[in-house]
Chain A
Amino acid sequence: MSFRSLNEIIQICTLEDRSFWEVILEEDISDRGTTREESLSRMQSLYLSMKHADATYEADLKSASKLVGGDGAKITAALEKGILISGPFIGEVMSKALKMGESNACMKKIVAAPTAGSCGVIPAILLTYEEQYHISIDKMLEALYVASGIGEVIAYRAFLSGAAGGCQAEIGSASAMAAGALAYLNGGDADSIIHAAAMSLKNLLGLVCDPVAGLVEVPCVKRNVVGAVNAISCADMAIAGIRSKIPPDEVIDAMRNIGEAMHKSLRETGEGGLAATPTGQEIALIIRE
Chain B
Amino acid sequence: MSIFDIIGPVMVGPSSSHTAGAAKIGFTSRQLLREEIGSAQIFLHGSFLATGKGHGTDKALIAGLLGMKPDDERIPDSLRIADEQGMKYSFSGIELRNVHPNTVMLKLTGVNGRELEVVASSIGGGAIKICQIDGLEANICANYPTLIVHNIDQPGHVSEVTSMLGHKSVNIATMQLYRDKRGGNAVMVIECDQEVPLEAIDWLKKLEGVVKVTYLSLEENNEF
Q: Which residues of A are in contact with B by a Cβ distance under 8 Å?
A: 2, 24, 28, 31-32, 42-43, 45-46, 49, 63-65, 103-117, 119, 122, 144-145, 147-149, 151-152, 155-156, 160-161, 163-164, 177, 213-217, 270, 287
B52 CB to closest chain A CB (Å) equals: 9
**Inter-subunit contact A213/B54 (CB<8 Å):** yes
Given A155-B1, A213-B51, 6 more A-B residue pairs with CB atoms under 8 Å apart are A2-B1, A45-B10, A116-B19, A145-B3, A160-B125, A164-B124
Check A116/B16 contact, CB under 8 A, given A148-B3, A161-B125. Answer: yes
- Per-residue CB contact flags for chain B residues 159-172 toward chain A (1 = under 8 Å, else 0) read 00000000000000
Return the contact of A115 from the options B16, B50, B71 (Cβ within 8 A). B16
Q: Which residues of B are in contact with A by a Cβ distance under 8 Å?
A: 1-17, 19-20, 47, 50-51, 53-56, 59, 71, 73, 75-76, 124-126
B20 CB to closest chain A CB (Å) equals: 7
Cα separation A117 to B10 with both chains bound (whole Å): 13
A60 CB to closest chain B CB (Å) equals: 15
Nearest first, the 10 A-B pairs at minimum CB distance are: A104-B13, A214-B51, A151-B6, A148-B3, A216-B14, A215-B54, A107-B76, A116-B16, A49-B10, A148-B6
B26 CB to closest chain A CB (Å) equals: 15
Cα separation A214 to B47 with both chains bound (whole Å): 9
**Inter-subunit contact A152/B14 (CB<8 Å):** no
**Inter-subunit contact A28/B3 (CB<8 Å):** yes
B-side contacts of A177, CB under 8 Å:
6
Cα separation A155 to B4 with both chains bound (whole Å): 12
Subset of 27 A-B contacts with CB under 8 Å: A24-B3, A32-B2, A42-B4, A65-B54, A103-B13, A104-B13, A104-B14, A105-B13, A105-B14, A107-B59, A108-B73, A109-B13, A111-B7, A112-B8, A112-B11, A116-B15, A116-B16, A147-B7, A148-B4, A152-B6, A155-B6, A156-B1, A161-B124, A163-B17, A214-B55, A216-B14, A217-B14
